[in-house]
Amino acid sequence: MLEVWAIEGLPEIVAGDDLAQIIGDAVTDLKNGDILAVTSKIVSKAEGRSVVAADREGAITAETVRVVASRVHANGVTRIVENRLGMVLAAAGVDSSNTPDGTVLMLPVDPDASARVIASALRERFGVLVGVIISDTLGRAWRQGQTDVAIGAAGIRVLDDLRGSVDAGGRRLDVTVAASADEIAGAADLVKGKASSLPVAVVRGLAHLVTGLDEPGAKLLIRPAEEDMFRLGTNEAWDEGYRAGLAAASSGD
């Protein structure tokens, strides 16, 4: 049976806070195999990843490795970019929700490392094997709405490879690899919510996914560039093709 509940009583997080200590003080019951889903906002706050809102565009640029697509609208320009973590998302993950007025937050420096610190401290404190996911809210290509996904993880198998097993009808599964960490992040968001000040949830019933801390983190979820069939937005792909055509024409090819 799967159980998911939010941890209550967490204080407002500020730069320099020990998240593992704060979460450990608030949680009342941890068992072997539990998984904690921690909203990235509080990790960013604890790591001091805040900048003044006036510097938002500069922060987005600083976090950007590659512009995938951009669109002008009534309120400005939305940039879909690949950020320094390899994630493709809007505004490089720089966000103004659930932050003090006049500030914006960048994503944690290394979400996998942040998750390992929290998981290691909670395992030592409570004497149980727990996994930790750092989650953030993302939109998705071809789908309306947003959902939480894992951007950092420790002590959990982020991909559940079902290839070689059989389905309920006895048919062999050859391509199914479940994004278990993303599924857990989405489930946890149902009890955390966006406006309820409940940034941490416990997920119980998936102990088979909990592993040692040497398991690859959420970076494993990022599709390698050579497998990405949609590297650019429509306008960007057209511009790139147009420039390539001009170059070929000028060279006589």
Q: Using one digit for the tens of pLDDT, what is the confidence trace for 201-211?
A: 999 999 999 99
Residue 48: what pLDDT? 95
CA triplet 13, 95, 38: central angle to 5 degrees? 45
Return the closest-CA partner of residue 218 out of 140, 138, 150.
150
Taking phi first (over 0 means left), then psi (-120 to 50 degrees means alpha), and beta for anything else, what does residue 252 get? left
Residue 107: what pLDDT? 96
Q: Determine if the pTM surpasses 0.85.
A: yes
Instruction: Tell me the two tokens of residue 154.
Output: 């420790």
Residue 253: what pLDDT? 60
Low-confidence ranges of the chain (pLDDT < 50): none
User: Residue 109 carries which side chain, given as an amino acid letter?
Assistant: V
Residue 195: what pLDDT? 65
Eight-class DSSP state of 209: G
